[in-house]
Every structure is written in C-alpha cells, then in structure tokens.
Structure 1
Amino acid sequence: MARPLTEYNRKRDFEKTREPPGETARRKRAAAGSLSFVIQKHAARRLHYDFRLELDGTLVSWAVPKGPSLDPKDKRLAVHVEDHPISYGSFEGSIPKGQYGGGDVIVWDHGIWQPHGDPSKAYQEGKLKFTLIGEKLSGDWTLVRTRLPGNSDKEQWLLIKERDQAARPADEYDVVRERPESVISGAVIDEKTGRTQPAAGTARAKPPSKTKTDPRPAAAKGGKGTGKSASKSASKSAFPQTLSPQLATLASQPPAGDWLYEVKYDGYRVMVRFDAKGKVTIFTRNGHDWSAKLPEQVRELGQLKLTSSWLDGELVVLNEDGLPDFQALQNAFDTKSTRQMLLFLFDAPFLQGEDLRQQAVEGRRGALQEVLAEHQGELLRFSETFDADYVSIFRSACAMSLEGIIGKRAGSPYVSRRSADWIKLKCKQRQEFVIIGFTAPKGSRSGFGSLLLGVHDEAGKELRYAGRVGTGFNQARITAIHQQLQALQQKEQPVAGKVPDARTATWVKPQLVGEVEFAEWTGAGVIRQPVFVALRSDKPVEEIVREQPAAPEEVEKVMGRKRVSGKVAGVKISNAQRQIDEQSGATKGDLAEFYESICDWMMPHLAGRPVSLLRAPEGVGGEQFFQKHAERLAIPNIRHLDPALDPEHGSYMEVNNVRALIGAVQMGTIEFHTWGAGSSRIDRADRITLDLDPDPDLPWKSMLDATQLVLAVLDELGLESWLKTSGGKGMHIIIPVARHLDWESAKAFSRAISSFMASQLPDRFTAKMGPNNRVGKIFIDYLRNQFGASTVAAYSVRARPGLPVSVPISRDELPELRSAAQWHIGNLQQRLAGLSGDPWADYHNRQRIKQDHWQQLNAKAP
C-alpha cells in the first residue's frame, strides 16, 4: 500500500528549497524486488544522520544523532521522522536557513536493503531485521521501537548492528569517523561549522578577490561566472605528463547564449604543471619548458602548495596604464627582467589530482579562485570576468586599446584543442604570419626594408604570399631581427606564385613567426596598412593560417566540436551534424571521428573476428536492432565471411580496417560486438567471457567486490584473465584459451564457474538469468559463450545516454574504478594519452582448459 507524504510536503516551501516535492512512487516490482536505502549526513540545527529505507513507495526515515556503528554493543538512538519521497535518496545540497531542516546535506551511504520477512508487517510491529548492501555499511542490522521517554512525541527506535563478519569493535574502527565523505561527490561536512567542504582537489567558490592592477574596462567589472564549485562529479583519472591548452575560435560576434567574458591578454600563453610532490614546471603552449626563464614565477607558484595540478594562464607585462603590452613583455625577456611579468590564471583543468575538464567552466574557475584567494604574492593574478553586456564590454575594451576580449560559453568543458566554446573577439585585425623573406633597406635604414609574409592554406600544407610589413620597427628591432634572418637565408622562394619584388628579395627558411596588425585583407589575399607588433616564438609555423572570423551561426553549429563534413577516413558521412545523443550532444560526425581516432586501439579487438552491429539510425533514443549477417548492407571495405558457414542466413561480417569501421558508422552503427572465436575457425572458441551483470540497484562497491572474488577463483585455478568495463553497469572478465574447445564445452565451463560462485556465495551471486533472479545479486552471464553469441568489443561505444565506452583496464586499476561507464567518447582520449602502455599488452590465447580445472571446481563446490 502506498504511503502518503502529506507531512513531508506540509513542512516545506518548494519555492525556496531545492528538495524534491513529495510524490509517492508506484514502481512495478517483483514480490522480492530490491529496495533502496540511503543515509544522509545532515548539518541542521544539530548534526545528525538520516537513515532511510524504501518501503511501500516512500522512504521511511529516522534521525540517528550519532550515526550508525559497526559495533553490536552500540545501540544507536534513532528518532522516527516523517516519510520522504524516494527521489530524496539522491539529494545533496543546502537547505536554506529558515526552512525546515535548514543546513547542508550529503549522501553518506546508499545501496539496497533486504528485509528478513514481511517488511511492512515488521515495521508496524516495531522490529525490523534486515541486511544492508551499501558502499560503507553491510551485513545484518535491526531497528527496534522502544518505549523510552523522549523530548517530543516522536517515536524512539534503536539501530543495532548484528554480530556477523561485517561487525567491528568501536575501539578498532569507527565508520563515521573513518569514512566522513559523500559516496556521490566525495564532499565532507565540517562538523564544527556545519558547512560542506568539496572533495579533495576541488573547492567552494568565494567572492572575487581584488587584484592590485585591474586591466579591465571600467564599465565591465565584477565576478560573473566564478560562483559555482567544481566539486560535484569531479573525476579521478591518470594525471597527464603533458597537457595542451584549449584554444579560442576567432568570431565576428558571439552567438546567442550565456557567455562569460575576460580580457584577451596580449602575452604568452602558458600551462603550469604541479607534479605529485608539488614541483612546478611552466610550459609554453607548444610544450617548451620555460621554468628556468621564470624563476620568480616558479617560486611564487610553489607557494600555492598544489600537487598533481594543471593551471592555464597568460604571462603578461603591464604598461604604465595597467594594460598588457606585448613589446614590453619581449623586452623583459631580452633584459631578463622577469620580475615584471605577471601570470594571469584563468582555468584549472586538474586540481589536487582531480580531473575537472568535464566540469563547467564556472566550476573550474571557482575552484581556481579559491586557491588564489589567500595567496599574498605579487606575480599571480586571477583573470576575472565582466559583469556587463557584450556590447558594453567590447566597446570599452577597444576604447582602452586592448587587443579584444575572450568569450567562454557557460557550462562548457575544457578540451585540449581549438573549440568554439571559447571565442576571441578582436578590436582590430591582428594575427601571426610566417616570415618568408625581406627586402633591401632604403634611405638611412639598415638591415632590411620590409618583411615578406606568408600564411598556410586551410589544409596547413602550402604557404601563400600574404603581403609585406615595413612599419612598426625601430632600428634596434630591425638589427636584432635581421641577425636571425641572415642565418636562415636560402635561394628558393618559399611560396608558390608571383611575389612583388621577388627579383630583389632575400628569401629565408620559413621558421620565424611575426605578429602584425592591419586594416583588412584585399581580394588578392594580401593585407593592407600593416604594422609589425613582435616576433612570436610560442606559435608553431605549421599552425599559421589566415584567420577569418566565424559568424555567430557558424559558431553555434560547431558548439565546441570540430564540424565534420565531407569524409572521415575516406568515407562520406551523410547528415554528419545530426545529433545522436541528447545527453552529450554528440553528432553522427562526432562518432565517426571518435572511432577514427581510436582505430589503432580498437582494431586488434575487431579484426579477425565475426562482428555483429548494433544499429541505431535515429540515435540513442530511437529504435535499435542487431545485424549479424551482411545481407544487402553495403558497407565499404567490410569483409564478408564464407556464406557456407551459415547457408540459411548468408555471410557473417568482419571489420578489419578503418574504412569498414567508419562505413558501419555511416550506416547507423553505434556498437560493435564480436564473437569469442576467430573468423578462420568459428567452430572453436578462443576466449571465454564472463559477463558480470548486477542488479542495477546494487552499489558499485558490490560490483568491485564481486569482480575481485571471481578473479581470485580464476587465479586459484591457474587461469590468466583480463578485465574490461562493459560501458553499462557490469564488468567483463575475459579468459583467453587455445582453440581446443568446441562451443558446447566453452559454454559448459563458463556455466560451471557461474554455478560455483552462486553455490559458494549465494547471497552475492546467482547462476539464473532474469531480473527476478538477480535481486540484490550479480548474475555471471555464461551465455556469451555459445555459437553465434557475441560481446561488445573493447573500445566500442555503447548506444546509451552519454555514449559510454567499453574499455580494457589492468587489474591494478580495478580498486580505483568508479563506474563501468566511467569513460565515454568525451574523455577516453584523455585516458589513452595518459597510459604508459596497453593494459592488455600481454594478452594471448595459449592456455588450455584442462580436466584438472573441472575437477577443482567440482571439489570446491558444496
């Protein structure tokens, strides 16, 4: 019977609190369906723990002042309070002061509970016995109603841990003290202040701090965009040795949407790395180590006491008006006056070991601002955002002779490439050019008269003449540049086509880059009214192309990703901009590019095996269907196996090259599933797959424990095994074998393992398929090991919201794994870039299943 939530709703004003409104759940369940529990740590008027059990469509709730204890001797007081909605089980946040229960809340533990007997009847009678399967709490417990006098009319209960393997003496282990963190965000509540402290490596944002020199338009001061913390959903991932910066797209004006604006600093872009011991290294955007050139900045950065962090910023020298001056920056380098250089920091892709790249830009900036708030040094500044409309900001910036402004799309992640989520809006035409030669000086000038300039075509392959610049120099600069050019002289003209004054020009190897300000491009592709600004040693020659501002609608189409048009790996992609996943915003073209980018990792797991395709022509939310046979599906370069292998249905397929991989995507494929056999001997298994399929309500810790238990059994049998995430809820354990097993034997052996685990640990495992049989348990699916059956391939995307990926891992990584869907098309490349080697580098198919293995399983069975 559903329980009403009248009292819960009466006590709350949902116009003021973010708590979910009370609605009784009427979820369809099997008679023995899994039931959720949650324990929330709540810093209300008094700090306490809210213990909640799902029952009859609501969460029946008790306030436990001291929190649960694993010691059976401790009988914790539990004050019965009003029922809460099931949706409350995921609530974390702050209840406003003045509201009922005002204060911070975190999810301290969650999972499922298994009542002993009829839970509704036991609850009414005042004595609930049950088993908890949570991230922190497990084993058997009792809640019993007492007749103790209380200070209110609320019922007094006792929460008691039963004596079992999960019980521990309080003087040995206090779970409340040892495990204070949220199981969702990792945040903790400071028991003295009652305020939530973000997980390690993230920070609660504070109000903007003042800088001593503020080179911002007078009409555009404030701190918009720095008020959100990056604490939620921050991820653990391999800390990279190198990290490329996010680059902005030149735009004519911002598209519609919420944009955060900062000064476009006229300086050198740098990335700052703090290693695990706090050592500071400053890199240019090209990855050159400039730490030795910037000792004062390194010393001051070290005062931040950060470890395993990456910060993004711009090295700047301010002129007497407090504005960035690039020539002054170069002069400071020439005279080694680096003490003049300020480092304006504006992003934190990694902080204290936490990967913040998938967090919103506001959260990353809030975390960075927290780090800099207490810093008392002279050389580090926080790059603040403007609190004004775009037109006012841009006009003010240009009136102050700033180079322009940078816009960042609110809510956008950090990506190590050029992105339309960051746009640059310039007050004047200004960009870098490759110096291809010079003309002879005239009059009293010595050295050279003008510099000849070039830019690459859009493909980045061919240099084209772009004009010449003869103003903006003094004699000292001419002399210094001329000395560099003399060492680069060559006879050949570096660009194709006609160049004015080519007969008298001196050509140089195209290795130097100069920044030039100019009025416009002519129809012939050369610049008018140019003025030389400075040499740029931080910009690679290969990247110098003609910059053309994108119109707002063009920026909007890109939405932070490279637009895919034409072909990927030589395969034409139709409707490349069609969105296939609402959660990630990914398009069909994005998916094709992703598969092309990981082809070298994926192909060893695809090539040489029959493949089944899961096609979803309408995307993740549309109809999905499997295709095992080639039929009339025309995929370029896909291999068709011998039709005689299955005369009734036709040829099986094999994907063994990148064109076939992308061709399948073009035909609507998202997932690739492979057999446990090679294409040359499909009648013989060459691997056994154990698919650990959990009750979806089980906590992740149960999945990790179960995987470790199965691995331990395989180790005892002397069988090597390999791990990969499923990209869904479970894990895949792969046992490579020599081609000596027919399918009947392969299925029988995998079933024997499944049955053995279920017989040994019936409270954790089941050998029977179906949701009713795996309530609170994990089904070891052995049915992957039969003729025609397949398992999602390593590095295949899953057709699920967020487009997660099935990823091979090493055993050492298992304890730190946070989810079977931890990696997706947006962050897998970051993992691969941080790997020191292939986790499956030693995978082989030489081991044999022997009679001894069967005997060991039978001998250990009860």
Structure 2
Amino acid sequence: MATAPRTSSSRAPARASRVTPAKRARQKPTSDDGTPLARYRAKRDFTITSEPGPVRTKPGKQLAFVIQKHDATRLHYDFRLELDGVLVSWAIPKGPSFDPKEKRLAVHVEDHPVAYGTFEGTIPKGQYGAGTVIVWDNGTWEPVGDPRAGLKAGKLVFKLHGQKLAGLWELVKIAKPGERQEPWLLFKKHDEWERPHADYDVVNALPDSVVAHPMKPLDDAPVAAIKRAGRTVAAVQKAAASPFDPSTLDGARKAALPETMSPQLATLARSAPTHGDWLYEIKFDGYRLMTRLAKGKATIITRGGHDWTHKMQPLADELATLGITGGWLDGEAVVLDADGLPHFNLLQNALDSKRSSEAIVYYVFDAPFINGYDLRAVPLHARRALLKQVIEAHAGDRVRFSDDFPADAAQVLETACSLHLEGVIAKRRDGFYTSSRSTDWLKLKCQARQEFVIGGFSDRSDNAKAVGALMLGYYDDHGVLQYAGRVGTGWSSSDAVDLRAKLAKLVSTKSPFPPGTTRSTRWLTRPAAEDHWVRPQLVAEVAFAEWTPDGSVRHASYQGLREDKDAKSVTREKAKAPPTSEKAVTAKKKTLVESMSHPAPAVKASSKSGNAEVEGVRITHPERVIDASTGHTKLDLARYYASIAEFMLPHLKSRPVSLVRAPEGVGGELFFQKHADVRTMPGMKDLPDLWEGHGALLEVPSAKALVAAAQMNVIEFHTWNSVKQKVDKPDRMIFDLDPGEGVSFATVREGTELMRALLAELGLQCWLKTSGGKGLHVVVPMSARLDYDTVKDFSQRIVQHMAATIPQRFVAKSGPSNRVGKIFVDYLRNGFNATTAAAFSARARPGLGVSMPIAWDELSEMKSGAHWTISDARDRLSFQKSDPWADYWRCKQTMTAAMKALQSAG
C-alpha cells in the first residue's frame, strides 16, 4: 500500500481529524507542576483521614465520573469529572434530576485525586468534610467539544454513561471570576432520557451505594439485551437445570389441563405507559402460536385455532422435550435473517416451501398453565420466572425465552426501531393472564402496521401473470368490509406471480365493498380491465405511514399473507391512550377464573392529570400538602413508604396492624382504624378468624399495601406485640418512654440508659428505636409462651420498680398531671389488642418524624424522638453499614428468670 509523504502540511489535518473531544480531554497539559491538588492536600491531615493521598493519575482510555453521596454537616452530592489526571469537583446540595427544568446548584470545589472516585468510608470528626461517604453513581463521561475551553468559559456540556445517570448534561457557571466559591448550575439537557421530576426523582428512587448494590450501565443494558434476544442463532449456553414447582406461586390453582385456550391480546397504544410497573419485550415479526403439551406430545395452535403441528414438526418435537407433563405455552414463531433479526417474509417462505421449517424459532413469553396448575391468576413476573427456568434447562435451540427489558420505555422502543424491529410489547409486571384483548398488554409500534382483507387486485402492466396492486379493506363494527386503499410494493417478482395465482382462484364479479361509496376511486364503481374483485378470504400484513382523512393507508408496503388470521376478524386498529389507573388486580379469584373459562373477544406522576402512581397504586391529589410545617405532600409520603418498604416489612410481617388516618393532614382530625375494606387498599390483607367473634383485622404484607394505605390518607402504622399464628401470645414487650412537660431530651436519653441497665440486671436483652414523636421505645424480644395478661403485669411491675427506685426521674401513672417534670414509662402497650408505632412508621405530627431503629451507641447523638423524618430517614439507611437490630430477630429469651429476679428485688 502506498504511503503519503509525511509533510507537515499533510500530517496536521489528518491528526486533527482523529482527535476526539474525549481524547483531547485525556491529553496531558503542557505544564504540570502538581498545583491542581494543592488545595486538596492543604485541607486534609492524611495521618488521620483515610481519604486517598494527593497523587495525580495518568489518564486511561476512558474518562471516569463519580457522584458521591456525602453525609456531612448537610447531606449533599459530590459530582466529579476526570480531567487531566484529577477529578474536577462540584458539591450539589439536592443531587441531580432528569428534569431539564430542575437546575441544581453546584458549588465548584477543589480538585480531587482520581483515586477518590472509589472512596467510601467515614471522614473523622474534626476533619474537613467530616461524615460518611458512599459512591452513589459512577461510570464514564464524554465531553461535547473541548472540556478545558468549556470550564474556562463556564459552560461544559457532556454525556454520562452511569448506572443511574445517562444522556446529555450541562454545567453553567453563574458567578464572576475570582469569587471565593464558584456557584454553577447542573441540569439535564433535552434528550430521550429526560423525565419530569414529578414522574421520577432519581435521588429518591435510587438512594443507595452502587458499590454495595451494583446496577447495569443504564444506557447500555437495553441495547445489548435487545441485540442478544434478536441475534441468538447459535445454541444458547444452557443454565444448570433447576427444579421448578408451579405450586409455590401465589395465585396458582390446581386444575385439569384445559382442552383449549385463547391467547391474551395486546392493545395498540398511542404512546408508552406512564403509570404502573411494566416489562418490555420485543414485538416479534412472526406468527402468534399457542402450544398445548400433553402425554409427551406438543400441539401447535394458531391464534385462530388451527392446528399447525404438521407445518412445524421439528419445533413440535423439541417442545415435547421441555419436561412439561401438561401445559400451555404462549409465544411467537419467527425466522431470523442473516443479522439474527426476525422477518415475516422469511417465515412465510419457510412455511410455503415446506422444506425450511427447521429454520423456525419459537420465542416463548408466557406460561398460563404448567404441570397441573393454572397460572393465569399468578402475576406475570412470577409466571415468566418459572418459564425461564423451564426454557433454560432444555437442550434445544428452536425454543427460546423472550427476554424482557425493565428499562425506560422510550429507550427500549428507540433501540428496537433502530434495529428495524416491528416494535415493543409493554406488559404490566403484576398482570394476570386473560384470554382477551387487554390494556395490561400494549403494542408500541415503530411504524403503522396491521392486517387487511384483500378485496381486489390489479395486474402488473408489463406482466399479466403478476399482481400489480392489492385493494385492501377491513370490517367495521357492523360487519361491512370498508375500503382502505391500495398497496403496490413490498413483494419480489416471484412473490407477485404466486400471489396473482392464489387470487385468481377467488375472482368474483361482485365488489366486496359497500355500493355507493363516496370515495373517489374509479375501480370502486367500475373496475378497469386490469382490476379484479375477489372474494374477501385472504389476509395481508401491510406496513404504512399513516391513515389519510378519507380512511385509506398512505405509503403502504406489503409484508406477507397471514394464514393464521380469519378475514372476518380483521378490523381497523385504533391506537388508544395507555392506561392511567391501576387495574383491579385484587378482584376475587372466582370472578377471574370464570372469565378465563369464558373468554371474551393491567413511580410516576403527571402534573396534567393531577394523579401519580407509586408501586402500581394511583395517588390522587399527590400535590396536596399534608404537613404545613415542612410542605410535605401526599406524594412525598407515598414515595417514602415505597422506598422504605424492604426495611419496614419485616416489622409488619404477620402482625395485625392498626392505621392512623389523617384525611385533613397533620393538625386535622385523626382516625384510628383497626378494620378496613381491603378493596380500597390494594395489597392489604384481611386476617379473619383470629379468635371467635372478632372482626377481621388487617395485615400489611407488601410495599403496594403500604402505598395503598398512604393513598387512603394513612400516616401511621401500629402493630400488635404478637403475630397472627399466635395472636394471644406476645413475642415482645415494649416500654415507651414518654416525657412529661419540662423534661429535656437529655433526661429522656439518661432515663433510657437506666431502663436498659435494669433490664440487663434482670438478664434481658433489649433494643432501641426512636418513637418518631417525643420519646423513645425500648423493645424486649421474647419467646411467645406467655399470655398478654402475664406479660402486661410483668411490664407494669418493672415500671413500678423504676418509679419507686428513682422517683425523681420516673412515674408509673399515666396522665399529663402525673408526669410533669418526669418520664412516664408506658407499659400499657403490652396489653391485649394494644399497639405501638411500627419501626419506620411516620408519625402524624408536625415534621412527620419517623420511628427509627438505632444502635445503643447512637443514643447520645439523638436530639429528639423525631431525630429523623420522612425527608432523611431513607438516606440514613444508605450510609448504614450494618443493621443495628440484626440480632433482634434471633433473640428468643424467656421471662421466667427475669420474673424471679424482679420479685427478689422487691
């Protein structure tokens, strides 16, 4: 190969063209005197702090970014971009937002070493930035343009590739040069990643460390996953066989294998859903097929009920080896092109030739029945988890699992369209399987496309044996075939001849379209010599740009014949708005099963609609302020309970719960509720038959139930001291230290230590939590052996002993007048049917304090019983290295020895 002369004039332009902004950012500056980290070094004593030393780093192949969540004097987020061997840094008090309208203050601080990007730990007291640091997000970044010039000019545009953040962002300086602290603004640029802050608050939704809880790169996962799903041609590496048991799934019903089953159908949607929890799958370009597995054989059935097993025998043989003794599977048959992407024409050719059926691949996406269990009332995500086990355990390559992508709908759809796929199917994650068209499944298409009935055709002008155009139609609501325009492209020369031969057998002298139509198309009234009517029996799949005002398709392209569709079933698809409220999935199972047996033909908010959705629960009036002292809204509370659920639910599990409702918010009238209609609170569970003659109590078993209660204006959750299995035998004893008028919180802390000391003398371990109000709760776990009267009597004697021993601190009688200047240790919480605010419950008081489990060595730091509120309670858990109550769950102490010790103490 000839080489161009290496002259300065020829070399300079070539070199400039190869230098990208990212490469320019990695280049070393011409002078390097080490000053960029001088301020960093001066602020720290590295003999005390464990932060990395001030060492510059050689640039790598990609530029790193990190956002560290820093619990210092005030919680904030440190945003750092690698450049010239250091991390250029800003402190952002409120953290980032995907909403371009949310411009967040970012104070430019000293550069940090690149090694600081991995730092997690606690900076000691007395040191600069004292507090705990976690890595909230990290990844790589790409500057748009020259980053050094951008920093100098005070305008830096860049793209992030993180685990939580992605897309284009901008930093803009809003101060004059030379100011001591440089205030900048960080905000999201308009692109496919932007989301209204009311819909999605990334700081609230994803509060934890990506080191402790790593995530897939946000902008890479959907593309890679879709390509894998569409391009898998070679045998998939098979996972080790795992035992699968459908009987363990919530909602599974033992039943006989149905002889027939109709598929669940998707509704065409105008846009992606903005409410609820959805999964997204590829919309495959093929034939929808149901498979019945029985007696070691597989029967493949089309959507129209036709048995196509003989057309796909190799596929049927492989399906029979799945290890399912009896079941129904739902999926799509496709043929993949050279790039591993599905194409409808290839599938039709494979079926027509009857020699290429071995190329057919069956992507299975649902399992409504497996091994003696009807799974139609099982949530979709659980059905699919079981199905994935089955598919990955088998040895063939024709039957594959259809992956889903729990990502942003717009991104998944854009990726699918960029790969020239038909579109995406959105499915409600907890939806049931119903043999009907449902808004639980939505079709999101890359272009308009549907089936049409062929009502006529024209000959090709230069070949009378080939079709030139097809006349299309669809049936209206009255069963009349309406004209929908022509399609004259999309087929090969051989396809045109084959299609003409098939249509010739259906030629008719009578138009299948209604007489007297007003459309100005000449052949509708008098076809030309090259035009022919046909009996409306064949169905064509057609892609097109749009519908014209007179009801015809524009820029249509033929995709193939649909042998699996009955012509009479073809109607005009009309896109609907996605659902804006939660489907009533809590309906009685009997009603659901009946609908299955007789099939008929389902944290986001919208300021426009005035509603929001959290954990699949519709939040009405989300903007309503429930605490005037802080401005906290109903949506804030719902989001708090959704975020805290994994920590709170163990404290609620199996326990009867009472609710404190505040329809008018904090300061209004409160209602204490022990019974409720669970239909108004999806996810809430009735606890009937706990003892004879009582009404059903309530249990909160899920995050959805927590949020549903918040939607019904519940602020507080109070639990019994016993679980439903032994409702008359408490498994804990609680002492509520309630300060009277004039008692400082320092005195409450001291009194709590004294309570702990007494319990220790009695041989009892105890744990501590804030009350969320004025006082503290001391909790003593115990084996569930004693009845409530015995436990309450014992707790009363402990309190009386405290009051008698230290009367200047404690009082054993309730009532405000009895505890002025003293602490009443409330033992009445230990009676039958009595309750206490649950751990992590908010309290219906100004500030919305939270009852927080803490370690004993944290007590001295507590400033009040409401040390944490719904604003910062979840953030505390982000920095928590261990659960202070970890040993609580394993403690099963008995009271016998303690009772004797107290009696001896007099």
Do Structure 1 and Structure 2 share a fold, with TM-score over 0.5?
A: no
Query: Which one has a larger percent helix, Structure 1 or Structure 2?
Result: 2
TM-score if structure 2 supplies the norm length? Answer: 0.37
